[in-house]
Structure 1
Amino acid sequence: MAAEIVVHRLSPTGGRRVTVGHAILGLAHSDRDVIEFLRRAGLDDADQLVLGDSPLIHWRGGRAHEYEAA
């Protein structure tokens, strides 16, 4: 997958938008959600990318793996 994978900043109500390129995959409330979105997008090794803190995933506007609003 050549497109950039981005987990965006927390929404005010919790969760983070996940995009690949310009496509919005969904609003994740856990790593499990991110993994499922990436699997649906065709990444078979999505769990290794997310849980292994791959540099291919860009976590923006907050710490990686945090999904709850303050």
Structure 2
Amino acid sequence: MAEDDPIISGVPAAARTVDQAGLHEVRTGADQPWDPEDLAVAEGHDPTPKHVERSRRKLEELGPAAIEKTVP
């Protein structure tokens, strides 16, 4: 089945769950809470005050999209 193949579906099996109706749900990096420090490190920066502040602003302005752009 194509949707079971991560190469075909584009979603790795580890990132999928099945809901009560038997439908696949895609989990993303934004499904969990993120601190500005976490986002700074995920972007490859040291968690210096400058980078943490930049990440805090991104999280405030973009919400979960800030995470999705960095950690799909």
Q: Mark yes or no: TM-score above 0.5.
A: no
TM, length-normalised to structure 2:
0.27
Higher strand share: 1
Q: TM-score, normalised by structure 1?
A: 0.27
Higher relative contact order (CA 8 A, sep 6+): 1
